[in-house]
Chain A
Amino acid sequence: MRDRAAALLLCAALAPGHAQTADAALDHRVQRVTEELRCLVCQNQTIADSHAELAVMLKHQVRDMLARGATEREAVDFMVQRYGDFVLYRPPVKAATWLLWFGPFGLLLAGLGLLFARLRARQLDIESDASDEELPA
């Protein structure tokens, strides 16, 4: 195993080549799609970043699909059909995830609302006390 690794590393330098600039737009689309997908093997990286064999293979599949004219939506759906919602890093918005997507904003409104209500009540308290104090003895 160690020899194989060393040998592989040695094999790197051959004839000079050119960086692929022709498919830059396609690359960007592939990047955008695969950045939203979870690598199922390592599970803590996106398919875009992972070097696991499965991830590389799926990245190629996405590229093929996009090159053949599929939309980004269709490429993502392809993955979801086969791997379920688990593969999406952006959870779908459905009844089961309403709390997830709308909870934070709802919590913000509730928190600020409650705070405002309590502070106003206190303000009125202070003002009524002050006016009480002004009553002539």
Chain B
Amino acid sequence: MKRYAIPLGIFAILLVFLGVGLRLKPQEVPSPFIGKPAPAFTLTRLDAADRTFSPQEMRGKVWLFNVWASWCTSCRAEHPVLVDFAKQATVPIVGLNYMDTRDEGGRWLDKFGNPYALSVFDADGKVGTDYGVYGVPETFVIDRQGKIRLKLTGPVTPEIIQKTLLPLIRELSHA
């Protein structure tokens, strides 16, 4: 009478999946850009509206691309961590000032410190959308060939730096 055990069998399989599911993070949206070239753009710099920046300028370097905004409270939490990280001068950080105003963005950096080699100004968020940004802050790790290797959503913490960012940067720097 094995068929009476079929419901139990199906349930056991379901249970395994649900158990695994507890470790997953359903809200996180993975980036389809991992391993792909960072989308090209040309934006004006936050500090100098007459000068522009394109990701091509960073070819040959490993760098971080951090999306931030003055209206974003989580960015406020993440900022000291980035400032510290910048002090160690491992890799340059380029900022993307997302859906902000020049005044407020500039003032925010003056007030809380500027870890960025430079920040670009994305007023309408189009470049952010091109990178698949959906929530601020987000951070991308881009390699020497201009490919995105990692996307972090949410604030960068010292733990993330130690466990995830630094090892990856080391790996990419030796490549």
When distances are taken between beta carbons in the complex, the residues of chain B under 8 Å from A58 are: 129
Q: Which of A43, A82, A84 has the largest count of B CB atoms less than 10 A from its CB?
A: A82
Partner of A41, one of B99, B125, B129, B135: B135
A61 contacts chain B at the CB level, 8 A cutoff: yes
If the complex has contacts A40-B29, A84-B29, A86-B30, are A54 and B126 also in contact, measured as CB distance less than 8 A? no
Output the least CB separation between A54 and chain B (Å). 6
B108 contacts chain A at the CB level, 8 A cutoff: no
Partner of A86, one of B29, B99, B131: B29
A93 contacts chain B at the CB level, 8 A cutoff: no
Output the least CB separation between A119 and chain B (Å). 16
Closest residue of chain A to B153, judged by CB? A40
If the complex has contacts A40-B134, A82-B129, A82-B132, are A57 and B124 also in contact, measured as CB distance less than 8 A? yes
Interface residues on A, range: 10 to 19
When distances are taken between beta carbons in the complex, the residues of chain B under 8 Å from A53 are: 99
When distances are taken between beta carbons in the complex, the residues of chain A under 8 Å from B135 are: 40-41, 54
A58 to B129 CA separation, bound complex (whole angstroms): 8
A83 contacts chain B at the CB level, 8 A cutoff: yes
Q: Which of B31, B32, B124 has the largest count of A CB atoms less than 10 A from its CB?
A: B32
A21 contacts chain B at the CB level, 8 A cutoff: no
Output the least CB separation between B55 and chain A (Å). 16
Q: A57 to B29, Cβ gap below 8 A?
A: no
Residue interface bits B135-149, CB-to-A below 8 A is 1, else 0: 100000000000000
The dominant DSSP class at the B interface is loop
B27 contacts chain A at the CB level, 8 A cutoff: yes
Closest residue of chain B to A64, judged by CB? B126
Residue interface bits B106-145, CB-to-A below 8 A is 1, else 0: 0000000000000000001110011110110000000000
A45 to B120 CA separation, bound complex (whole angstroms): 31
A86 to B30 CA separation, bound complex (whole angstroms): 8
A131 contacts chain B at the CB level, 8 A cutoff: no
If the complex has contacts A43-B27, A61-B126, A61-B129, are A54 and B134 also in contact, measured as CB distance less than 8 A? yes
Closest residue of chain B to A58, judged by CB? B129
Q: Which of A53, A58, A80, A84 has the largest count of B CB atoms less than 10 A from its CB?
A: A84
If the complex has contacts A40-B134, A41-B134, A54-B134, are A83 and B125 also in contact, measured as CB distance less than 8 A? no
A82 to B34 CA separation, bound complex (whole angstroms): 11
Q: A83 to B134, Cβ gap below 8 A?
A: yes
Q: A82 to B32, Cβ gap below 8 A?
A: yes
A81 to B131 CA separation, bound complex (whole angstroms): 9
Closest residue of chain B to A79, judged by CB? B129
Residues of B participating in the A interface, judged by any CB pair closer than 8 Å: 27, 29-32, 99, 124-126, 129-132, 134-135
